[in-house]
Chains A and B, each alone.
Chain A
Amino acid sequence: MNIEPKIRKILLIEDDPNLGMLLQEYLAHKQFDVVLKRNGQEGLLEYRKGSYDLILLDIMMPKMDGFTVAEEIRKDDTDTPIIFLTAKSMKEDKIKGLKLGADDYITKPFSMEILEL
């Protein structure tokens, strides 16, 4: 992927507090600018407010699930890369995610190297 050099601002949408916090700190440590949102609805609002280079998205979340968020984002933006971060590892879910326009799919537990792109 040649998007790597441009990515600076990341929107992280993850409902688990520990995991979200860790990811945020880790990515911040890697010199990324990370905004963390706790559920799909807030994430989508945040996405509409600012401009992001990458969206990291959990699937199973309160208020609005990750698939719906991705769908909403893809309605008017086909450029911003979306990566699903999820525990769901079933094929149908992967296909569904990629069909919705996600750029990649990372299943939990994941190693940080993958996130480093």
Chain B
Amino acid sequence: MNRHLLSFSLALIVIGLLGVSTVQTLWLKSAVQNRKADFDQRVYESMEEISYNIENIGYQPYIKEFLEELNSDSLANAQFQKWISIDSNSQAQLDSNNLNTDAQLSRQEFNRLYRAQIREFQQMLIREMISIRPIEEIIDIDKLKLLIEDVLKHHGLNTKVEFGITEFADNNFIYVSPGADLGNLFHTEYTTKLFRRSIFDENKLLKITFPEKKKFFIISFLMPILSSIVFLIMIIVAFAASYRIIFKQKKLSDMKTDFINNMTHELKTPIATISIASEMLKDKGISSIEENRTKYANIIFEENKRLSNHVEQVLQIARLEKDEIQLNKEERDIHGIIRLLVKHFKLISEDYSAIIDLELNATETHYIIDEMHFTNAIKNLLSNALQYNDKKPYIVISTYNTKDGGINISVKDNGIGLSKDNQKKIFDKFYRVQGGNLHDTKGFGLGLNYVKSIVEAHNGTISVESKLKEGTTFNITLHK
């Protein structure tokens, strides 16, 4: 049921994450659309503003210049003089009348008419001249460029702009900004009359394109998109990490359950044996025979020893866990220790009819070690080599000195070997290659964990090489 809850919450998280990413995507999509509309809106506003301001940089200076020219222009002057001559006659008349009131009025009337006529004349000329003048003379292109860029920037459209000016027809470009793409300019939707308020020249169109519009959009959405992705990744990573921890914990707790089961089995079996043996001793019919008494007493003695061994082993690991291990380090001959151990070990492992070979090649063999723990560690490796073997055990213990003056001790067997997966785990506390109820080998899953702790307490290292069905080699390296 725990597992159900776990997969249920995993499903919820996956659905939740998918939901969040979908919502984010949809939101971004609509945001992009809004942004596009907003962009267009800004461009249209900008273009309106541009066309108002063009009159400042384009027309008005030109008109001023034209009016100045007008005074000196002979052709225009001739026409003008004709007007003036009519005027001067009446002017002379007026002058002679010596500023009477009627004359005053008629002079004002004259001025009004005179100015209107001049304006009409000017406009006619301007229209004619502008339409034939090259665009560069009508409008200062550099200023126009600056104006366009300024206005767009002011409207928050800080991206590269290209523009062109057409006259009479959509594709009749009379000006194109350097490097601009004609096709884009032709198809652009951003178009406005160049002289919008002008009555003189209404055939010229200003067209604008943004060659880096896409880039502009991407950049303006880069932050929200990136941060969404980063946050999503953060959530996924955090969940993955939590799940890893949960599974690790679950595995550990499984391993502990296995250990407890195993321990109860290992502890209860001798207890049961002792209890039966003592009951049999109590039975007069059985215990009256001398031979039986010795046999059962021996069994009780043996089982009791087994019990205390188990208890000692568990306590040892408990002490290791609390870092309470007290190493009694002294200089010892490692080869001597190995030889002695093997001699004892051969006695206790007679059942297995194992062959243990020594290849002790190290020349420097004196190291500062705790004899008892070191012996136990090697013994653990030996008993593993015996137990995890389905053939006639053949064990080789070899040593050699390392370049930096250390010593390498290896225990090689021809046993069942370890899978890659198991090789990683065998040093873990409580880990047993075989879990569950199958008990080919006895143990608590503490042996190699103990070996590793002891080797590390000696500042040494331990490693394992193994191949399934071929055997396993443990390498211990101790430093000088």
Contact = CB atoms under 8 A, between A and B. Distances in A.
A111 B279 contact: yes
A65 interface: yes
Given A29-B285, A87-B265, A112 B439 contact: no
B444 to A, nearest CB: 13
A90 B271 CA distance: 18
Interface in B248-272: 261-262, 264-272
B360 interface: no
A63 to B, nearest CB: 7
A87 B437 contact: no
A51 interface: no
A22 interface: yes
Interface string A61-98: 11111110000000000000000001111100000000
A18 B303 contact: yes
A64 B285 CA distance: 36
A105 to B, nearest CB: 14
A26 interface: yes
A49 B303 CA distance: 33
Given A18-B302, A26-B280, A88-B264, A62 B273 contact: no
A interface, over-half SS: loop
A104 interface: no
B437 A59 contact: yes
B276 interface: yes
Categorize the interface residue count of chain A. Answer: 20 to 34
Nearest to B266: A87
B261 A90 contact: yes
A26 B285 contact: no
B269 A87 contact: yes
B275 A109 contact: yes
- Residue in A29, A59, A109 with the greatest tally of chain B CB atoms within 10 Å: A109
B293 to A, nearest CB: 13
B223 interface: no
A87 B264 contact: yes
A1 interface: no
B233 interface: no
A115 to B, nearest CB: 9
Given A109-B272, A110-B272, A60 B277 contact: no
Contact of A64 (B296, B299, B438): B438
A88 B261 contact: yes
Nearest to B262: A60
Interface of A: 15-16, 18-19, 22-23, 25-26, 29, 59-67, 86-90, 107-112
